[in-house]
Structure 1
Amino acid sequence: MKQMRAVLCGYYGKGNGGDEALLASLLQLLPSHVTPLVLSGNPAQTKQDYGVEACDRMSIGAVLQALRRSDAFIWGGGSLMQDATSALNPFYYGGLMKLAQWFGLKTIAWGQGIGPLHRPTTRWLARQTFSKCTAVSVRDRASAALLSRWNIPFTLAPDPVWALQPEPVPGLWNFPAPRVAVSLRTHPQLTPTRLEALTRALVSFQTATQAFVLLIPFQPAQDMAIAQQIHAQLPNVSKILTLSNPQQLMGVFNGVEMAIAMRLHALIMAAAAGCRCFALSYDPKVTQLMEEIQLPGWTLDQMPTDSTQISQIWLEQYANGDPLLNEQIHSLVDRALMHQQVLATALTPR
């Protein structure tokens, strides 16, 4: 089959474990006749980690050269078209997509979670870019509903990270059992008062269960300070575990009994490993996952203020909560592989 080159575009090389997991999933599912070129915030690290060609995502010259040399352009998963984090996000990603379309490349919006889009301008831009794509796949029902209203064809499938192949974590089994994973991140709704309540609850929870707590900063630049703060309250029964390999990050959850997490992909990885999960939602994408696979948890603004109440609810989930059944996990993984079929169909040479 004729070889093709595809530019992969996402929030790559920025130290975010979830986005790196999306890149690893995309590379795992990319057809064998397609050679990837990754736009990265750290091209040297991306080359080292994945063995692929990479260039600086903010270098206009390098990006233009990459597009001119390529046959396809892929938005590689995640919430790229949203203006909650920054009003500039849709213009960066949407601008690159429009440029690729102008160059005549096959363009794929892959594994997308669309929104929030609060501004009329960014909603208009999103509609324009998605409507001109060769193929579109989305990971949640809200994104699918939006595309339906816009009369844009799409494939709906679970987040591609469900299908990521985990790798063993060296030394994981040396930590005392049972183990519980905790993944929190900074956010305006995670106020100092709420974080203090969560920390007190976690101390009580650990005392009751005698579990060893693995504090997992998915994006150390945002998450490390919180992990350190909690570790200081559990100095002998917790460990901050920093992993840059997304497949090892997924592998961690094969060795824990329960996960308490804000991060979307921490919850997906934990649920895929058959862990009991408890979600703390800071974003609609986390709330949608909670609804779709019936994860227990709270949005941060609905979280109880009493640490004893929080701890008791966690203990109930730890003792009696139900992880996903194997049949449910297999179904989610199988359906996530629909994203692979989208790639195979759209990237078939003419």
Structure 2
Amino acid sequence: MSEIQAVLCGYYGKGNGGDEALLVSMLEMLPPQVKPLVLSADPRGTSKSYGVRSADRMNSGAVIRALRESQVLILGGGSVLQDATSLRNSIYYGGLLGLAQQFGLQTIALAQGIGPLNQPLTRWIAKRAFGNCTAVSVRDSASAALLEGWGIPCAMAPDPVWRMAATPVPAIASIPSPKIAVTLRSHPNLTNQRLDLLTKALVDLQAATGSHVLLVPFQPTTDLNLAEQIQAELTDNSQVVVLTDPQQLKGLFQGVDLAIGMRYHSLIMAAAEGCKCWAIGYDPKVSKLMTEIDIPGWELADLPTDASAIAQAWQQHLKTGTALSSASVRTISQQSLTHQHLLTATIAKIAVVSN
């Protein structure tokens, strides 16, 4: 079968551990005849880390060259078409899909978490972009319902990071239990007052349980300062852990007793590795995940105002809570293969037409 070049696009090269994990998952899914070319904010780093060709995602000349020499564009996972942060995301990715389609490329959108789409313009962009795709898969029922309402067929399956291979981190594995991993991110609702509450609760939790606290910035450019602020208030039995390899990020949770997370993919990685989880919802995708796999937690806007109550809830979950069963993890991981099956079948059809 002849080789097919596919442009992979997403929030890649920005140092976000969750999006880099999606890129690893997408590369793992590719059929052997597909040669990837990744659009990245850091093309040199992406090429070095993953051994693939890469081009600057913001260099219009490089993007156009990549499209002209390719047959397929794959929009690879995550909440990239949304307007919660700004209109730019939907305009960029919707425009890229539209440009690829104008150039005659087949476009595939995989493992999408669509929205929020609060503006008429972004809803129009998303409807047009997904409606013209060769194939679409989503990672949650709300995204599937949105596309169904627009008359756009799609497959639905859990996020592909559930299946991503994990690399153990010996330095973390050797730390005595109990171990607690914390993944916070900056957000308008994470006010200084709420950050102080969470910090005080972690101090109380550590004092009550003798836990070793791992503060994990999933995107160091935005999360590291938060992690360092909290670590400064804890005992020496704590550390900030910066890992750039997404498979090591997932492996970090092996043997961790409790993960307290805002980051969506940190909760998936922790649950997949058998860790008890407590979610702090800042975005609908986290709220959906809490419901889907029954993770306890709070919405950030509804965080309790008593640090001791927060610490007591965490301590009780650490003591008596349960992790997702290994059977459930296997089932979810198996279900997530739907994205790969869709990709493989679509590429096979494209190859037949190309030949």
Q: TM-score range by the shorter chain?
A: over 0.9
Look up the match of 1:312.
312
Look up the match of 2:207.
207
Whichever residue aligns with residue 135 of structure 2, its letter is A
How far apart in 2 are the matches of 1:175 and 1:322?
A: 21
| 1:192-203 superposed matches below 5 A | 192-203=192-203
How far apart in 1 are the matches of 2:209 and 2:106?
A: 53
Look up the match of 2:345.
345
User: Aligned residues: percent identity?
Assistant: 54
| 1:99-178 superposed matches below 5 A | 99-178=99-178
| Residue ranges of structure 2 left out of the alignment (5+ in a row) | none
Contact 2:173 2:254 (8 Å CA) reproduced:
no
How far apart in 2 are the matches of 1:264 and 1:341?
A: 24
How far apart in 1 are the matches of 2:332 and 2:171?
A: 29
SS in 2 for 1:143: helix
How far apart in 1 are the matches of 2:266 and 2:184?
A: 9
How far apart in 2 are the matches of 1:316 and 1:32?
A: 48
Contact 2:159 2:336 (8 Å CA) reproduced:
yes
Deviation at 1:104, TM superposition (A): 1.1
SS in 2 for 1:233: coil
Whichever residue aligns with residue 21 of structure 2, its letter is A
Give me the TM-score of the superposition, normalised by structure 1. 0.99
How far apart in 2 are the matches of 1:215 and 1:197?
A: 16
Look up the match of 1:248.
248
Look up the match of 1:291.
291
Look up the match of 1:94.
94
SS in 1 for 2:277: strand
Deviations 1:151-194 (A, max 9, x none): 10100000110110101114222333221100001100011111
Name the count of aligned residue pairs.
Answer: 350
Whichever residue aligns with residue 212 of structure 1, its letter is H
Deviations 1:101-158 (A, max 9, x none): 1111110011100000011011011001101100000001110010010010100000
How far apart in 2 are the matches of 1:179 and 1:37?
A: 39
| Residue ranges of structure 1 left out of the alignment (5+ in a row) | none
Deviation at 1:2, TM superposition (A): 1.6
How far apart in 2 are the matches of 1:163 and 1:173?
A: 21
Deviation at 1:51, TM superposition (A): 0.3
Deviations 1:223-277 (A, max 9, x none): 0111001110114011110000000000001121110000000000000011100
Whichever residue aligns with residue 16 of structure 2, its letter is N
Deviation at 1:20, TM superposition (A): 0.2
Look up the match of 1:57.
57
How far apart in 2 are the matches of 1:255 and 1:291?
A: 24
Look up the match of 1:322.
322
Give me the TM-score of the superposition, normalised by structure 2. 0.97
